[in-house]
């Protein structure tokens, strides 16, 4: 493999990590800039985790929708890259 391929293999995960950290930093900065009030209290408070019922655990429709969306994205990328 040539040098450009190895450079891309090494840099892509680092760039993805840098983008994630930049997004987290920006979210924290925006949260600090919002003045105190009802909205900030609402978005800052921890939300309770509501356990799923047995019927919700056995329902596979959301999983099928996610797999369908992933297949659609791959299909579009495949068609556009031909």
3-29 average pLDDT score: 88
Q: Domain extents for the chain?
A: 3-80
* 37 φψ region: left (φ > 0), alpha (ψ -120 to 50), beta (else): left
Determine if residue 77 is left, alpha or beta; phi over 0 gives left, psi from -120 to 50 gives alpha, anything else beta.
alpha
pTM here? 0.45
Rounded CA separation 50/9 (Å)? 40
pLDDT of residue 75: 96
Residue 65's pLDDT is: 94
Instruction: Encode pLDDT of 20-72 as tens digits.
Output: 999 999 988 988 888 888 888 887 788 888 888 888 888 889 899 999 999 99
């Amino acid at each position: 493999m040539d040098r450009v391929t190895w450079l891309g293999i090494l840099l892509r995960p680092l760039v993805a990590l840098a983008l994630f950290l930049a997004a987290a930093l920006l979210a924290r900065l925006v949260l600090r800039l919002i003045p105190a009030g009802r909205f900030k209290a609402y978005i800052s408070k921890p939300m309770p985790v509501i356990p799923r019922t047995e019927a919700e655990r056995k329902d596979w429709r959301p999983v099928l929708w996610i797999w369908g969306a992933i297949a659609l994205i791959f299909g579009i990328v495949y068609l556009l890259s031909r």
